[in-house]
Amino acid sequence: MLPTALPVLPRERDDWVLSRRPPRNSLDLLRAYAALVEPEVGPSGLEEPVATVFLTNRECPFRCVMCDLWRNTLPDPTPLSAIPEQVRRALAELPPARHLKLYNAGSFFDPLAIPPTDYEEIAGLCAPFERVIVECHPAFIGPRALRFRELLQEHGTRLEVAVGLETVHVGVLERLNKRMTVADFRRTAKFLSRNEMALRVFLLVRPPWLSENAGIEWACRSLDVAWEAGAEVCCLIPTRAGNGAMEALRETGEWSPPTLESLECVLEYGLAHRPQGSRVLADLWDIEQFATCGDCAAARVARLATMNQTQRPVAAVQCRCTPAE
């Protein structure tokens, strides 16, 4: 392996990540940059329609090595009333759904991303939904989360908070520049549980500095920690390129993307070990890029989709690329 590309000091890591970024996208302050409805298996165990609104707001203050979400953010604080208008417009154009994700490429409870004075109006727009899912770094989960939960409860809507744990490998998590620890995650999980907010967890499959086999092992270990902390949903994210920093780590041999087979292994583990009532989902966005064999790629993607849908293991794909045991 070539010498590491990543600086040691966090501030220098910030600069290193920023210096490798391509340009961010041009966005409309009054429109969410994307919105869609797709099925997801819900608490009932059945697939239910979920609306996802990708909000346009101020960039996250953390410079995570693997993140490319900043491409659809603003360099300045989000203006008042912009977020409610984005939600209003997006929902008017979407078909009906039972649940709503308000994803914002950062932390929902960062006051410079989502102004707290807009919470009441946002909560009113969420009233038709049974459950609202937002994403947030542990550093911002506190009194503002409680306030938004209370506003949603007035409408009979439940709040679920998604946290990017990424990995419980201590050295890798620190080098990802996430500015959080596994202990921070556990404290946040306890806070959410005490205050009747559900926990969703994002986990990376093969982050940098891990081999393919180690990537599988640590993703499974991370699932165990997430379940122990009370996660209702764990989302498995295959680590992707596309932000400049990941390309630099690939050039030095410090990272390679995971294979479909690795994602299958981790999803199988999650389905076998998940607590009753919880769900584990593989992120299938642009999933074909992780295929290593053209003969079985479609079958493997279909298998992952079926396991997401049914929350049950499916017979393994047989292909010449995987020797029989």
Q: State the DSSP code for 60.
A: P
CA distance linking residue 113 with residue 105, whole number of Å: 9
Q: What is the phi-psi region of residue 135: left when phi exceeds 0, alpha when psi lies from -120 to 50, beta otherwise?
A: beta
Please state, rounded to an integer, the average pLDDT across all residues of the chain.
95
b/e map 182-214, b = 16+ CB within 10 Å: bebbbebbebbeeeebbbbbbbbbbbbbbebee
For 98, the 3-state DSSP assignment is: coil
Sheet with 131-135, side-by-side order of all strands: 34-41, 47-54, 99-103, 131-135, 158-166, 198-205, 233-238, 279-282
Query: Does the pTM exceed 0.75?
Result: yes
Residue 13, Cβ density class (10 Å: 0-12 exposed, 13-18 middle, ≥19 buried) = buried
pLDDT tens per residue across span 155-214: 999 999 999 999 999 999 999 999 999 999 999 999 999 999 999 999 999 999 999 999
Task: Round to the nearest angstrom and report the end-to-end CA distance of the chain.
Answer: 31
CA distance linking residue 57 with residue 110, whole number of Å: 10
Contacts by 312-317, CB closer than 8 A, 24 or more apart = 312/271, 313/268, 313/271, 313/272, 316/264
pLDDT band at 325; cut points 50, 70, 90: low
b/e map 60-85, b = 16+ CB within 10 Å: bebbbbbbbbbbbbbeeebeeebbbb
pLDDT for 218 equals 98
Task: Provide the residue type at 75 as one letter.
Answer: P
Contact 210, 166 (CB under 8 A): no
Q: How far is CA 308 from CA 40, 74, 245, 263, 268, in A?
A: 8, 33, 30, 12, 10
pLDDT for 299 equals 95
Q: Which two tokens stand for residue 286?
A: 């642009």
CA distance linking residue 70 with residue 26, whole number of Å: 12
Q: Which two tokens stand for residue 62?
A: 């953390």
pLDDT tens per residue across span 82-141: 999 999 999 999 999 999 999 999 899 999 999 999 999 999 999 999 999 999 999 999
Q: Which two tokens stand for residue 175?
A: 């080098």
Residue with tokens 């000091």: 9
Q: Which two tokens stand for residue 132?
A: 């609202």
For 18-45, what is the mean pLDDT? 94
